[in-house]
Amino acid sequence: MTEKSVILKRGKEESLQRFHPWIFSGAIHHIEGKPEEGDVVTVYTAERKFIARGHVQVGSIAVRVLTFDDEPITDEFWYKRIATAYHLRTSIGIAGTPTNDTYRLVHGEGDNLPGLVIDIYGDTAVMQAHSVGMHVNRHIIAKAVKETLGEGLKNIYYKSDTTLPYKADINKDNGYLYGGNAGNVSTEYGLKFHIDWLRGQKTGFFVDQRENRSLLEKYAKGRKLLNMFCYTGGFSIYALRGGAELVHSVDSSAKAIDLTNANVAINFPDDTRHAAYAEDAFDYLERMGNNYDLIILDPPAFAKHRDSLRNALIGYRRLNAKAIEKIQPGGILFTFSCSQVVSKENFRTAVFTAAAIAKRKVRILHQLTQPADHPVNIYHPEGEYLKGLVLYVE
């Protein structure tokens, strides 16, 4: 049997020598052994030298590299990778602490596992495959997660119906790979959150804002706060603990508002400082007064692809201009973009233009990004997606 392999065009191994984990279809000379989407292939240079091994897929990214070493992709391989990811999280104090059991265990390329995301919520892991290769390996990955986390892990929920290539002809139903009798409350820095992985967005929670929510807590004391695009109310709950005078949470989704109210209720029952409204962001910002002195803007990705970049930047500019215009003098704005295609510079320029439109004096206090459990592979800078600015508005 011919080995399933990909032979590169002459000179096209350069990015792989720099450990970039993607091989674009244009770099391929030919494919041998008739691999199917999701199979492991060995990648050779035009001179037939081993250069990588990875999952083959249909589309412009033709191979996602699993290893640059000439090692087989065995069960042992998955165990090692998952254990390494877990070890990183425990060694930096994010996992395995009494006050926090909400974290990202695997962040795709950032953990040398392109196409795989695993978030941990208490005793449940929620796993998401973005490639057919990870889908094919889901059971061995689940076993490795179970083995690595041990007794503390009771459920593994697989949720990939929206993240797998929609044309792939595979059984991609969501469901439990292990357990199934899950409670759904997890703890983030001592605060409780209901996580709805069955119906919620992504894996159910935006784990990536943890450190930024924690920073917000320090600024909340005595302030009147607007948490725009609140989803599960994460920022609002931290603000209440931080001693905010008033917290308003806004999201266009009624389900998000219910989740926010439920999360306020388990942490601060009957707290009259909080109110939540289901309303469109632009409508709300238009009609609200200028009472708030701390505003959070954490919108969904305005640009999912390069071709929508221009419109996305206009969106960020409009949104930020309204908030900067209306915030109290001496107010603080936490503003974010999670669009991968919007660079740090793009985003900063959009916010800078917004400040000029609003005719306010603005200073940057912090420049924020994603937390350490969402590591960026230095050879894959595309993995840096979350950008935030904390602004002081005079």
Per DSSP, the three-state class of 393 is strand
Q: Does 229 bind ligand SAH (CB under 6 A)?
A: yes
Per DSSP, the three-state class of 150 is helix
Single residue of 84, 252, 328, 349 touching ligand SAH by CB under 6 A = 252
Amino acid 122 reads G
- Distances in Å between the Cα of 225 and the Cα atoms of 328, 332, 347 are 11, 9, 23
Q: How many whole angstroms separate alpha carbon 145 and alpha carbon 118?
A: 9
The nearer residue to ligand SAH, 111 or 251, going by C-beta atoms, is 251
User: Smallest distance, Å, CB 314 to ligand SAH?
Assistant: 14
Single residue of 163, 209, 249, 337 touching ligand SAH by CB under 6 A = 209
The nearer residue to ligand SAH, 314 or 378, going by C-beta atoms, is 314
The nearer residue to ligand SAH, 22 or 302, going by C-beta atoms, is 302
Single residue of 57, 148, 203, 232 touching ligand SAH by CB under 6 A = 232
The nearer residue to ligand SAH, 144 or 386, going by C-beta atoms, is 386
Where do we find the tokens 């165990």?
79
Q: Does 253 bind ligand SAH (CB under 6 A)?
A: yes
The nearer residue to ligand SAH, 110 or 234, going by C-beta atoms, is 234
Residues in 256-275 that interact with ligand SAH by CB under 6 A: 256
Retrieve residue 204's tokens. Answer: 């159910």
User: Smallest distance, Å, CB 391 to ligand SAH?
Assistant: 17
Q: Do 249 and 230 meet the contact criterion of CB atoms below 8 Å apart?
A: yes
The nearer residue to ligand SAH, 5 or 212, going by C-beta atoms, is 212
What are the two backbone dihedrals, phi and then psi, of residue 186, each rounded to the nearest 5 degrees?
Answer: -125, 170
> Please, what's the largest Cα pairwise distance for the chain?
72
What angle (nearest 5°) sits at the alpha carbon of residue 57, between those of residues 376 and 309?
55
Single residue of 280, 291, 304, 311 touching ligand SAH by CB under 6 A = 280
Q: Considering only CA atoms, which of 156, 160, 157 is closest in space to residue 173?
A: 160
Q: How many whole angstroms separate alpha carbon 11 and alpha carbon 231?
A: 47
Interaction pattern, residues 33-62, with ligand SAH; x per rule: CB under 6 A:
------------------------------
Stretch that binds ligand SAH, among 29-37, 251-259, 327-335, 350-358 (CB under 6 A): 251-259
Residues in 187-206 that interact with ligand SAH by CB under 6 A: 206
Q: Does 276 bind ligand SAH (CB under 6 A)?
A: no
The nearer residue to ligand SAH, 28 or 262, going by C-beta atoms, is 262
Per-residue HEC secondary structure of 299-357 comes to CCCCCCCHHHHHHHHHHHHHHHHHHHHHCCCCEEEEEEECCCCCCHHHHHHHHHHHHHH
The nearer residue to ligand SAH, 94 or 276, going by C-beta atoms, is 276
Interaction pattern, residues 287-326, with ligand SAH; x per rule: CB under 6 A:
-----------xxx--------------------------
Q: If binding means CB under 6 A, how many residues of this protein chain bind ligand SAH? A: 17
Retrieve residue 372's tokens. Answer: 């350490």
Within 8 A by CB and 6+ apart from 181, the residues are 154, 155
Which residues are near ligand SAH by CB under 6 A?
Answer: 206, 209, 229-232, 234-235, 251-253, 256, 280-281, 298-300
